Structure 1
Amino acid sequence: MPDVDAAYARAITAGSTAFEPPHDAFWGDRTAQFLDPSGHRWAIDQHLHDVPADELAAHVAAMFG
């Protein structure tokens, strides 16, 4: 998705409920989640940059270590 922030704003304006506001994730994507009016959960992502494998491994180890 080219613009997570714009898509998220459109979804909320159209009646969706915020679940996880847009934010930059450690794996290099901008991500967000919302619930549509029927209750289905949607996740949208925008790739920002590649993250080296060793940096990803360090983040995961910190989360689950």
Structure 2
Amino acid sequence: MEKKGIKPFKFMECAVIPIATGIKAQNLRELQTGLTQIPDSSIYFHFWGRMLRPHISE
């Protein structure tokens, strides 16, 4: 049951990720398990990569 005023956690994903990795997650437990199956360097790159790459602000 959801507490009043608290929104449920939503994880937005890209449809390409399960195709590239073969790893799918339907809930947080499956996401946690999936994260243990991929290299830490991949998580780091995809989390910080966009912020570390040079880009032009509009």
Greater strand fraction, Structure 1 or Structure 2: 1
Give the TM-score normalised by the residue count of structure 1: 0.31
Give the TM-score normalised by the residue count of structure 2: 0.33
